[in-house]
Amino acid sequence: MAQFLAATAPYDRAKAVVYGLPMDWTVAYRPGCRLGPDAVREASWGLEEFCPSLGRGMADSAGCDAGDAPLPAGDVEGSLKIVEQAAERFLRDNKFPVFLGGEHLLTLGTVRPFFARYPDLALVQLDAHADLREEYQGRRLSHATVMRRLSEVLPPGSLYQVGVRSATQEEVEYAAALGSLVPGGVLQAMKALLPELARRPLYVSLDIDVADPAFAPGTGSPEPGGPSSAELLEALSLLGRVRLVGFDLVEVAPPYDPSGITAYLAARVVRDVLLLVA
Amino acid sequence: MAQFLAATAPYDRAKAVVYGLPMDWTVAYRPGCRLGPDAVREASWGLEEFCPSLGRGMADSAGCDAGDAPLPAGDVEGSLKIVEQAAERFLRDNKFPVFLGGEHLLTLGTVRPFFARYPDLALVQLDAHADLREEYQGRRLSHATVMRRLSEVLPPGSLYQVGVRSATQEEVEYAAALGSLVPGGVLQAMKALLPELARRPLYVSLDIDVADPAFAPGTGSPEPGGPSSAELLEALSLLGRVRLVGFDLVEVAPPYDPSGITAYLAARVVRDVLLLVA
Amino acid sequence: MAQFLAATAPYDRAKAVVYGLPMDWTVAYRPGCRLGPDAVREASWGLEEFCPSLGRGMADSAGCDAGDAPLPAGDVEGSLKIVEQAAERFLRDNKFPVFLGGEHLLTLGTVRPFFARYPDLALVQLDAHADLREEYQGRRLSHATVMRRLSEVLPPGSLYQVGVRSATQEEVEYAAALGSLVPGGVLQAMKALLPELARRPLYVSLDIDVADPAFAPGTGSPEPGGPSSAELLEALSLLGRVRLVGFDLVEVAPPYDPSGITAYLAARVVRDVLLLVA
Amino acid sequence: MAQFLAATAPYDRAKAVVYGLPMDWTVAYRPGCRLGPDAVREASWGLEEFCPSLGRGMADSAGCDAGDAPLPAGDVEGSLKIVEQAAERFLRDNKFPVFLGGEHLLTLGTVRPFFARYPDLALVQLDAHADLREEYQGRRLSHATVMRRLSEVLPPGSLYQVGVRSATQEEVEYAAALGSLVPGGVLQAMKALLPELARRPLYVSLDIDVADPAFAPGTGSPEPGGPSSAELLEALSLLGRVRLVGFDLVEVAPPYDPSGITAYLAARVVRDVLLLVA
Amino acid sequence: MAQFLAATAPYDRAKAVVYGLPMDWTVAYRPGCRLGPDAVREASWGLEEFCPSLGRGMADSAGCDAGDAPLPAGDVEGSLKIVEQAAERFLRDNKFPVFLGGEHLLTLGTVRPFFARYPDLALVQLDAHADLREEYQGRRLSHATVMRRLSEVLPPGSLYQVGVRSATQEEVEYAAALGSLVPGGVLQAMKALLPELARRPLYVSLDIDVADPAFAPGTGSPEPGGPSSAELLEALSLLGRVRLVGFDLVEVAPPYDPSGITAYLAARVVRDVLLLVA
Amino acid sequence: MAQFLAATAPYDRAKAVVYGLPMDWTVAYRPGCRLGPDAVREASWGLEEFCPSLGRGMADSAGCDAGDAPLPAGDVEGSLKIVEQAAERFLRDNKFPVFLGGEHLLTLGTVRPFFARYPDLALVQLDAHADLREEYQGRRLSHATVMRRLSEVLPPGSLYQVGVRSATQEEVEYAAALGSLVPGGVLQAMKALLPELARRPLYVSLDIDVADPAFAPGTGSPEPGGPSSAELLEALSLLGRVRLVGFDLVEVAPPYDPSGITAYLAARVVRDVLLLVA
């Protein structure tokens, strides 16, 4: 019910649209990321509309918070269909979308229309986990299989996986065949990718668990050993130099973070992205 | 992975079976009851195997903890099918099941085979909510519609709703037509029902939110104004006088209860039921 | 930023107005009730718009959530002035106000215009504390002195204190001179008062700490030994038989209640009051 | 390091002495009651020094907070010896002690000197658990065996167990032989005991878990089904009619109660006891 | 009521004085830093009195914990006056003060007497926020305006802002005119400043939110992207090379940090400062 | 009751054994690490059995989770004896043990048999605290004295202390005489030690508080200023190049970390060690 900080433009006039996707139907261990969108919106009001390091302010962005998608609880296919239709609408209306998850499976719905529109699109996934399993707990549609499903339909060479530090042996082998894993830390990897990414439209999918759990404890699958929030924010600031066409931020699970810092980090990321694309 | 207190008999020799159903795919506001079964098992080890007020001990019950059903996350129909097959197996094997939810929609799966076996079965629902909506958030299968779905297939006069203090106007009218709402507090209602229930086999479905939130804060939809744990336990002790054939306890959501008292109350309920049916 | 459940009528057409007063400048031990209004609004969406025991639904109430008063943080007198002007406006516009605190000192601002309008007004305070100190921590304006300040300007015989179980000796003596303390438990006291109250317009000020801390842990000054939420709700249901003209609910402090049950109880109280005055 | 509310008299002039015993070496499931004394002291400052229902104020009590006993962490026998010596000193100095635990095993140390001094002493234990095991986890000295150990050295007929709702079958049989279990709820039992207790000096040992977990979640072994804080406080107010010579309050474990209400209840109990013996 | 670790010298003999300023009247989003002083004191006892990296021990410092200032809740001007008088007294008595906030507005009171005494004083602010707004929420005295108010009365060139990563566009422009923002990370900035600072008396004001929220989640306005506690402590160790005359640490808000690590970091900072000035 | 991830081999066939030591009898400030072993086991199931950076999988390790030692609560000497016998058995059976504490005093029991077996053993302690006190709170056996006790019986030159940032002056002097403190950060120190360690069998004792509290808030004595989890994991990965013969991980105290990230970090460490020794 809340709105994201300063994203108060009417839909028609807005360049960027914040859209909540409160789904966590396939989360295995620690559910609750369906509560993520509202927590991120609420935390956003603790930030400023201006970013000193980017030197830009929200007033310029003409962002619109379009609320949450009406996702049917417990209906994976139905939810993905709604998500996909929303992405298609934003593309049709020439909006830059920032999708607020919800679980990572959502990216299956958000990203497919972008590949339809931009055949040379690059997809950068920032994530502690590879999400390349063939199936998980008996299901082919899961937060742990989302990049596998995408890899089956995307053009070769379009997926870049950054920050991955958890994967099964099978996932590592599959990723090696794909050539998707970008070595090194998040900032180092993003810097290395920049020349290549600069030539293509780009969609970024950020799983908040890419940050070390100290910086984002409120998530479903904390994986120690990740970057700090400072490093992550610096890496994302590089997106100002590429042609970003879509963004999602997923897996913020407020029940596991009574301090609320995960939502603050997520809100900061979203605000910075809105500033970068304004 | 843990076992319920003293429920260590092999399946073949056990009279009662504890079975976890870790599903919360359709929970609207506060997910997390998929974590309920393990929390209840863990809390159970803080209790004794003997109950002074019932004068019985767990050693007699020969209970078996059969672990959790492998429910596919986010697949409502698939999960219900697995639940229903489990219930059928327990009936076939002549076991008394205690199902540990998980959300209340699970009762749709657990209870149907019992009606197939016992055509004169009575179903007593202890719950703060009527769960009689025609649909909820666009879905006909939901924790908020479960008793409506059951009412459509059960024989008239088989549903007894106890402790309900939250319902829409439509639900109240539907319940009035059904004659399902038992007036008064939980203990008073159970005492009033006893003569009638004593003549039929009985399945009891207990939504932990029937207790006041002070006694069970760890649940998805806290509804103030309910009974104390003392009253609830006394009401359940009356089940020793009827022919109980099945039991489920649902909606324990640990993330919202850092003190853990909800799981202790749930564990106490399960232990007492195991003692009563031993 | 959120709205209270179903309080979506435009101001002009609404009979009742929900208005947040996010102030806790004078709270001594556990601040945080300035966060109360939004927590209560958020929790309200977990309730139904209809109350089975009252037999009424929110659709009838035409309530409006007018947001929060712009109270200047740390400015007690300035805040009280804004509060008082808001109360005057609601009276002028013939609205029934439900003020959501915030600390109890706010009642000094909300209630004075009601006495100006209704000289025979009765003020019922439901509270664990007498709030009758001459001064507190060197200040005459404090959550602990609010009823003393009011007693100095109200007509004799207009203050009724229900549920008080904490007071200094001086407060007890002052209350004895006033004749304000109503003996007995909350429900018993309200029943006893009913004949007397039925003859006068009534303003009710409910400090959530009147409930036992088990039912409302999220408050600044928990005082053990109070009524259950069931007893409190039953006592409030008696207000359907009197001429209620104003209501405030104060001292909900979310930081001390990670389970959120305090906000659910407060939301239930507000919803029931809205139903009663509709 | 904090002091209990108003217990600021010098030791020599004080009638009552508050003394912390921060030990939880034998607690099995949820340790942390060694942190109880300070949490209770801190919460006490949220209360008044006067009790309206008792009609007495702390100024009269001349209480002294003597700090904490220097108990060697992990040394059960050594700790008990220090505790016993402290009790002997308080008896010698003619002080009324209020011992703040810490775990219940401490009562083995506190109560023995009282029986040496008062051969006709009655010991009233308010507790959810019988604590009558012969041994627990291989140890004869444990919070779960404390009353068994005492029963072996106390005169027959001196132990009264009130509020017990958890025990093994062996404990129930042992208690039956002792005749120690007082039937009924806490208030009912205390009322029934009063005539008998009025003839003897009395030591009361209160395990906070005698209250229902809703009212005292911060404890090591929550056992659902107990009395409310209101009932418990009313039962304790009866102690004004007997010759109370010593008191302990044990098993307050703050880590499990983020709301702090357990410490408030304990502080209220201690304050009321100090008022009663002043 | 507690004392800071080893700060047990009598006031007359102490070189340094720890003084609590429990005020948060103007905090906008997450109040509770009025509880900071006691939380920091309590945490300090988990530290050693000696610091291996500084090679110094508290025994040398002859520190005194003078308790808390009696700040009138909700009275901003009155509180600031008391704070200012305390600072004047410490200066008069030749004490080195460590002020424990409370909110950042307190620095307006603490620092002005220091400029009166040391006209060439440098003020170093370590903070995530610039606090240079002209007004905030309609008020000119606020935690968000404190450095603006100071900048209006301090000599030009006396304010150094380190670690700032949140500001409005207006604040950035105002700071540019002032020349107050020190670029780079906290450690880098402090190293760069050192030569300049070494020539002047220095007052340091540390807002704990300068650390990344992972290291200090218990604060009112978490701002991601800050330094680690290791970097912050190293930066502060440089203060051993300058002529430090006063220090404050503000914005520790315990309710938002159930783990308590914020208070541990703050206590460590205070201990190190006490060691440096001993 | 739970098992560690993939440690499901039968004892006879296992190369490595995970063994829980749930003891915290001597913990001074924040008890609860007796709950550590189960929390670490539970968290382990959120990890993968394969580590991409190590390039190894758990399937190879043939680990066995042998459950918890039956340590008598509150009996320090008795517990240490049981621990020592367990270590002897593992040595006799040629198993690599991973001991899960529990408090650090346990290392006194685990490590002595290893020195009996390997006279040239090196003991590397990763810890924020030196643990070299002569006595603590009047006791010679304590988590704060464990390395002092060991230093009295181990051969000179066998103890290496890494990451220590808290110690008394006496401890620093004692360590200087021992030559045990390894200067620099954890990763730097481990790299520097590597050549020396490569020539000897090695036992590593890891106190989780060596990590900065942001990465491991759930511990008894948080000490700010430590390494990140990424640095710690990288330092531990160096153990693949030495002859590791035993490992313990201690001081994980779940009650102080509602987010659970401490247990995830500890589980990750244990998993990596199991992979390294497989």
DSSP characters over C31-43: --GGGHHHHHHHH
- Cβ contacts of F141 on chain D, cutoff 8 Å: 74
* Nearest Cα to Cα of residue D99 among D209, D246, D237, D238: D246
Q: Reply yes or no on whether the pLDDT at A228 is more than 70.
A: yes
Q: Reply yes or no on whether the pLDDT at A1 is more than 70.
A: no
Average pLDDT, chain E: 94
Which residues numbered 8-47 in C keep a CB inside 8 Å of some CB on A? 42, 45
Express each pLDDT in B188-247 by its tens digit. 999 999 999 988 999 999 999 999 999 999 999 999 999 999 999 999 999 999 999 999
Identify the residue whose tokens are 């942390």: D32
H or E stretch at C77: helix C76-92
Q: Work out the angle between the directed axes of helices B146-153 and B106-117 (0-180°, nearest 10).
A: 20
* Nearest Cα to Cα of residue E225 among A255, A237, A248, A99: A237
For residue A268, the chain E residue with the least C-alpha distance is E224
In this complex, which of C1, C45, C258 lies closest to A2 when CB atoms are compared? C1
Report the distance separating Cα A260 and Cα A267, nearest Å. Answer: 11
Beta carbons of D172 and B52 less than 8 Å apart: yes
B166 lies within 8 A of chain F by CB: no
Express each pLDDT in A108-117 by its tens digit. 999 999 999 9
Banded model confidence at residue E10, pLDDT cuts 50, 70, 90 = very high
Q: What is the pLDDT of residue D60?
A: 61
Q: What is the pLDDT of residue C60?
A: 62
Report the distance separating Cα C104 and Cα E113, nearest Å. Answer: 36
B135 lies within 8 A of chain D by CB: no
Express each pLDDT in C183-234 by its tens digit. 999 999 999 999 999 889 999 999 999 999 999 999 999 999 999 999 999 9
Beta carbons of D212 and B233 less than 8 Å apart: no
Report how far Cα A190 is from the mean position of its chain's Cα atoms: 15
Report the distance separating Cα C161 and Cα C184, nearest Å. Answer: 11
- Sketch out chain F's domains with CATH numbers: 3-276 (3.40.800.10)
Average pLDDT estimate for F73-93: 95
Q: What is the pLDDT of residue D61?
A: 62
For residue F76, the chain D residue with the least C-alpha distance is D74
Output DSSP code: residue C185.
Answer: -
Q: What is the three-state SS of C84-124?
A: HHHHHHHHHCCCEEEEEECCCCHHHHHHHHHHHHCCCCEEE
Between C278 and A261, the more confident residue is: A261
Residue type (1 letter), D95 = K
Q: What is the pLDDT of residue B60?
A: 61
Report the number of secondary-structure helices (H) and strands (E) in chain A: 8, 10
F268 lies within 8 A of chain A by CB: yes
- Cβ contacts of D214 on chain B, cutoff 8 Å: 212, 214-215, 228-229, 261
CA angle B45, B51, B52 (to 5 degrees): 135
Average pLDDT, chain C: 94
Express each pLDDT in C241-271 by its tens digit. 999 999 999 999 999 999 999 999 999 999 9
Report the distance separating Cα E122 and Cα E145, nearest Å. Answer: 19
Banded model confidence at residue F28, pLDDT cuts 50, 70, 90 = confident
Total CB pairs under 8 A between chain B and F: 11
Beta carbons of E139 and C72 less than 8 Å apart: yes
Average pLDDT estimate for B138-150: 93
Express each pLDDT in B36-62 by its tens digit. 999 999 999 999 999 999 999 987 667
List C-alpha distances in Å: E39 to A41, B102, E24, E36. Answer: 30, 39, 15, 5
The answer to whether C190 and C231 have CB atoms below 8 angstroms apart is no
In this complex, the chains that touch B, judged by 3 or more CB pairs closer than 8 A, are: A, C, D, F
Return the C-alpha torsion angle F256, F261, F266, F272, nearest 10. Answer: 180
Q: What is the pLDDT of residue C278?
A: 80
Beta carbons of C260 and B258 less than 8 Å apart: no
Mutate to test the interface with B, among D212, D228, D232 (most CBs of B within 10 A): D212
The answer to whether A264 and E224 have CB atoms below 8 angstroms apart is yes
Report the distance separating Cα B58 and Cα F184, nearest Å. Answer: 57
Express each pLDDT in D150-197 by its tens digit. 999 999 999 999 999 999 999 999 999 999 999 999 999 999 999 999
Report the number of secondary-structure helices (H) and strands (E) in chain E: 8, 10
Residue type (1 letter), F225 = G
* Nearest Cα to Cα of residue B43 among B271, B277, B272: B271
- Cβ contacts of C27 on chain E, cutoff 8 Å: 73
Query: Distance from C276 to chain B by nearest Cα, in Å?
Result: 16
Beta carbons of E45 and D258 less than 8 Å apart: no
E184 lies within 8 A of chain A by CB: no
Mutate to test the interface with A, among E169, E210, E251 (most CBs of A within 10 A): E169
Q: What is the pLDDT of residue A114?
A: 97
In this complex, the chains that touch E, judged by 3 or more CB pairs closer than 8 A, are: A, C, D, F
Q: What is the pLDDT of residue D278?
A: 80
C135 lies within 8 A of chain E by CB: no
Report the distance separating Cα C33 and Cα C87, nearest Å. Answer: 20
Query: Distance from B208 to chain A by nearest Cα, in Å?
Result: 19
For residue C57, the chain B residue with the least C-alpha distance is B169
Identify the residue whose tokens are 């009112």: E220
Express each pLDDT in C104-147 by its tens digit. 999 999 999 999 999 999 999 999 999 999 999 888 999 999 99
Query: Distance from A173 to chain C by nearest Cα, in Å?
Result: 43
* Cβ burial, residue F195 (10 Å; 0-12/13-18/19+): exposed
List C-alpha distances in Å: A79 to B28, B61, D88. Answer: 14, 44, 71
What are the structure tokens assigned to D132, written together? 């009558």
Report the distance separating Cα F203 and Cα F112, nearest Å. Answer: 11
In this complex, which of F27, F70, F105 lies closest to D138 when CB atoms are compared? F70
Q: What is the pLDDT of residue A72?
A: 86
Q: Reply yes or no on whether the pLDDT at A60 is more than 70.
A: no
In this complex, the chains that touch D, judged by 3 or more CB pairs closer than 8 A, are: B, C, E, F
- Cβ contacts of F47 on chain A, cutoff 8 Å: 166, 223
Total CB pairs under 8 A between chain D and E: 11
Average pLDDT, chain A: 94
Name the 3-class secondary structure at D204.
strand
What are the structure tokens assigned to F172, written together? 């620093």
For residue D256, the chain C residue with the least C-alpha distance is C258
Banded model confidence at residue B72, pLDDT cuts 50, 70, 90 = confident
Residue type (1 letter), B199 = R
Report the distance separating Cα F188 and Cα F182, nearest Å. Answer: 9
Query: Distance from A48 to chain E by nearest Cα, in Å?
Result: 6
Residue type (1 letter), A168 = T
- Cβ contacts of E42 on chain D, cutoff 8 Å: 1
What are the structure tokens assigned to F29, written together? 């400030």
- Cβ contacts of B47 on chain D, cutoff 8 Å: 166, 223
Q: Reply yes or no on whether the pLDDT at E1 is more than 60.
A: no
- Cβ contacts of F228 on chain E, cutoff 8 Å: 228
- Cβ contacts of A45 on chain C, cutoff 8 Å: 1
Report the distance separating Cα D273 and Cα D244, nearest Å. Answer: 9
Which residues numbered 55-94 in A keep a CB inside 8 Å of some CB on E? 57
User: Could you write out the DSSP letters of every residue in D206-240?
Assistant: EEGGGS-TTT--SSSS--SS---HHHHHHHHHGGG
Name the 3-class secondary structure at F231.
helix
| Across A198-202, E120-124, F109-113, least confident range | A198-202
| Across A224-233, C54-63, E19-28, F86-95, least confident range | C54-63
Banded model confidence at residue A73, pLDDT cuts 50, 70, 90 = confident
Percent of chain B with pLDDT over 70: 99
The answer to whether E231 and E44 have CB atoms below 8 angstroms apart is no
Long-range contacts for B136-139 (Cβ within 8 Å, ≥24 apart)?
Answer: B136/B26, B136/B28, B137/A70, B137/A72, B137/A73, B137/B28, B138/A70, B138/A72, B139/A72, B139/A73, B139/A74, B139/A75, B139/B26
Query: Distance from E118 to chain C by nearest Cα, in Å?
Result: 31
Name the 3-class secondary structure at B53.
coil
Low-confidence ranges of chain D (pLDDT < 50): none
Express each pLDDT in F93-109 by its tens digit. 999 999 999 999 999 99
C137 lies within 8 A of chain E by CB: yes
The pTM score is: 0.93
The answer to whether A207 and A127 have CB atoms below 8 angstroms apart is yes
Report the distance separating Cα F172 and Cα F164, nearest Å. Answer: 10
The answer to whether E128 and E165 have CB atoms below 8 angstroms apart is yes
Report the distance separating Cα B140 and Cα B144, nearest Å. Answer: 9
In this complex, the chains that touch F, judged by 3 or more CB pairs closer than 8 A, are: A, B, D, E
Report the distance separating Cα E89 and Cα E117, nearest Å. Answer: 12
Query: Distance from E76 to chain D by nearest Cα, in Å?
Result: 23
For residue E29, the chain A residue with the least C-alpha distance is A46
Express each pLDDT in F243-277 by its tens digit. 999 999 999 999 999 999 999 999 999 999 999 99
Which residues numbered 109-128 in E keep a CB inside 8 Å of some CB on F? none
Q: What is the pLDDT of residue B61?
A: 62
Query: Distance from D218 to chain C by nearest Cα, in Å?
Result: 12
User: Could you write out the DSSP letters of every residue in B175-215?
Assistant: HHHHT-EEPS-HHHHHHHHHHHHTTSEEEEEEEGGGS-TTT
Express each pLDDT in E228-264 by its tens digit. 999 999 999 999 999 999 999 999 999 999 999 999 9
Q: Which residues pair with A181 in a beta bridge?
A: A161
Q: Reply yes or no on whether the pLDDT at C179 is more than 60.
A: yes
Express each pLDDT in C68-115 by its tens digit. 999 988 889 999 999 999 999 999 999 999 999 999 999 999 999 999
Name the 3-class secondary structure at A66.
strand
Q: What is the pLDDT of residue C82?
A: 97
C259 lies within 8 A of chain E by CB: no
Give the length of chain D: 278
Mutate to test the interface with A, among E212, E221, E231, E265 (most CBs of A within 10 A): E212
Report the distance separating Cα D71 and Cα D94, nearest Å. Answer: 23
Contacts of C116 (CB under 8 A, 6+ apart): none
Q: What is the pLDDT of residue F60?
A: 61
- Residue E221 has φ and ψ, to the nearest 5°, of -135, 75
What are the structure tokens assigned to C140, written together? 């005459």
Q: Is B46 left (phi over 0), alpha (psi -120 to 50) or beta?
A: alpha
F162 lies within 8 A of chain D by CB: no
Average pLDDT, chain F: 94
Query: Distance from C168 to chain D by nearest Cα, in Å?
Result: 5
Between F191 and B25, the more confident residue is: F191
In this complex, which of F166, F226, F256 lies closest to E259 when CB atoms are compared? F256
Mutate to test the interface with D, among E1, E45, E257 (most CBs of D within 10 A): E1
